[in-house]
């Protein structure tokens, strides 16, 4: 994996652990020679992940919608900064530029990015690993809900392993490195659906 798209919040929570986590993830990826593709912002966890990577000599590619770039939140310190028309184009660019996805803590926008990466994997628009860094147990309920969807039958058995979750970045990267793509819906027969 040469580049990973990192999904995270642009907010700065009152608990400093979240900013420290983002900075540490950026630094660790840079130290492993893995480039960061992220939302292109300079605020919150987004800014911290970019700073962590840049401070350790890493490649940082930002992808920011024009409306946000114009509101002065764009991070012009990135190795590359792509300005796109909107959110759909932004997520497509994340997919095009990366070899996988890692979601660290964030809010509604982060969830949108995570679930679209999962949905696209399920369908067959990409075969890249989708990682969830469950630091501080932040995603315990989301992981339980995903399991519940599978138990009820809304996530097919072939797709139950799309989300790779771990409490530490090292464990998550190990899972992502050994990820075996599943059979996408596009390749299934009607009887499999």
Please, what are the averages of pLDDT over each run of 10 residues along the chain (193 residues)?
97 97 98 98 97 98 93 92 95 97 97 97 96 98 98 95 98 97 86 75
Burial class, 191, CB count within 10 angstroms (exposed 0-12 / middle 13-18 / buried 19+)? exposed
How many angstroms separate the most distant Cα atoms in the chain?
Answer: 52
Q: What is the pLDDT of residue 192?
A: 75
Count CB-CB contacts under 10 A for residue 193: 7
pTM score, whole prediction: 0.95
Q: How far is CA 146 from CA 121, 151, 165, in A?
A: 15, 9, 11
| Residue 89 covered by a domain | yes
Number of domains in the chain: 1
| Residue 30 covered by a domain | yes
Q: What is the pLDDT of residue 154?
A: 95
Q: What is the pLDDT of residue 191?
A: 76
Reported as a single tens digit per residue, the pLDDT across 91-132 is 999 999 999 999 999 999 999 999 999 999 999 999 999 999
Q: Which domain holds residue 50?
A: 3-181
Angstrom distance (rounded) from CA 8 to CA 139? 13
Question: Which CATH number goes with the domain that contains 171?
Answer: 3.40.50.450
């Amino acid at each position: 994996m040469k580049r990973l798209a990192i999904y995270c919040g642009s907010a700065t929570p009152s608990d400093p652990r979240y900013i420290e986590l983002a900075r540490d993830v950026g630094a660790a990826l840079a130290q492993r020679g893995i480039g960061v593709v992220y939302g292109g912002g300079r605020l919150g966890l987004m800014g911290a992940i970019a700073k962590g990577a840049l401070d350790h000599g890493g490649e940082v590619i930002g992808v920011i919608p024009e409306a946000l770039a114009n509101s002065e939140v764009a991070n012009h310190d990135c190795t590359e900064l792509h300005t796109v028309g909107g959110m759909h184009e932004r997520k497509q660019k994340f997919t095009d530029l990366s070899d996988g996805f890692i979601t660290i803590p964030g809010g509604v926008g982060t969830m949108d990015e995570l679930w679209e990466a999962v949905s696209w994997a399920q369908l067959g628009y990409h075969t890249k690993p989708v990682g969830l860094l469950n630091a501080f147990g932040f995603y315990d309920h989301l992981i339980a809900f995903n399991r519940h969807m599978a138990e009820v039958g809304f996530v097919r058995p072939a797709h139950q392993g799309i989300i790779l979750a771990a409490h530490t970045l090292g464990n998550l990267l190990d899972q992502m490195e050994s990820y075996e793509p599943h059979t996408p819906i596009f390749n299934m027969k009607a009887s499999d659906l």
